């Protein structure tokens, strides 16, 4: 993912940029800042820390649920949502997962590679550190959901060591899906941070 972002930056930009990444995108953005700091002017990370996560079982169950859906012709998005509700009760999670469903000419398929995700889930939960990596000294904002457990208090020393100039903002009444739960508060926070710097 880092290589994809680097390629995009090389093709589309000149100089340093501001980067915003949420969740896995946040991990990718942090890796970009730590491995290629000259490419990043400002780093914004949405509800993720530079740590190894242990809650892959939840993600595994989502992948298994998607794999059990028989993607046969004529099945509607609503019917698939109903099938998923048997193993995934959270409507917002199902709605997010269903953004990966493609229906063309009555043919259904998942846009994501479920097998690759299952086989590499432990890598996705990881946060690889190389000996030559140095802390990112640029402007950095971490935005957490107050009801989310992705950025925990005990992550603070790690955050401080890798991103010494970071600020942490917690959005009230907000879970992991910052842009869904509190879009206006998120936009206001982003605008303030970017205008201030």
Same domain for 132 and 43: yes
Residue 56 has pLDDT above 80, yes or no: no
Where a domain ends, among 84, 119, 154?
119
Q: Which two tokens stand for residue 130?
A: 């190389």
The pLDDT value recorded for residue 30 is 97
Q: What is the pLDDT of residue 107?
A: 86
For position 6, which CATH number holds? 3.40.50.1820
Domain count for the chain: 2
Mean pLDDT of 79-88: 94
Find out whether 110 and 100 touch, Cβ atoms under 8 Å.
yes
Q: What is the pLDDT of residues 121-152, one digit of tens each?
A: 888 899 999 988 999 999 999 999 999 999 99
**Mean pLDDT (whole number) for 39-45:** 95
Same domain for 192 and 142: yes
Domain boundary among 119, 139, 156: 119
**Domain region containing 97:** 56-119
**Contact between residue 171 and residue 185 where contact means Cβ atoms under 8 Å apart:** yes
Same domain, 135 and 45: yes
Given 90, 119, 148, the domain boundary residue is: 119
pLDDT value of position 133: 92
- Sign of the alpha-carbon torsion through 47, 19, 157, 185: negative
Prediction pTM value: 0.85
Residues 30, 45: contact at Cβ < 8 Å? Answer: yes
**How many residues in total does the chain contain?**
197
């Amino acid at each position: 993912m880092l290589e994809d972002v680097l390629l995009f930056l090389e093709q589309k930009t000149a100089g340093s940029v501001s980067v915003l990444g949420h969740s896995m995108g946040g991990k990718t953005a942090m890796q970009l800042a730590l491995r290629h700091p000259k490419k990043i002017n400002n780093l914004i990370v949405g509800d993720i820390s530079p740590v190894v996560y242990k809650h892959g079982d939840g993600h595994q169950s989502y992948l298994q649920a998607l794999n059990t859906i028989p993607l046969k012709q004529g099945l509607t998005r609503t019917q698939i949502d109903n099938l998923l509700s048997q193993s995934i009760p959270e409507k917002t999670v199902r709605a997010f997962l269903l953004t990966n469903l493609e229906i063309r000419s009555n043919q259904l398929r998942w846009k994501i590679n479920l097998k690759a995700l299952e086989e590499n889930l432990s890598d996705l939960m990881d946060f690889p550190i190389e000996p030559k990596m140095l802390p990112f000294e640029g402007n950095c904002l971490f935005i957490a959901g107050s009801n989310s457990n992705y950025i925990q208090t005990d992550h603070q020393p790690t955050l401080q060591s890798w991103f010494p100039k970071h600020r942490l903002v917690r959005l009230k009444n907000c879970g992991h899906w910052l842009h869904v739960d509190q879009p206006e508060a998120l936009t206001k926070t982003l605008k303030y941070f970017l205008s201030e710097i």
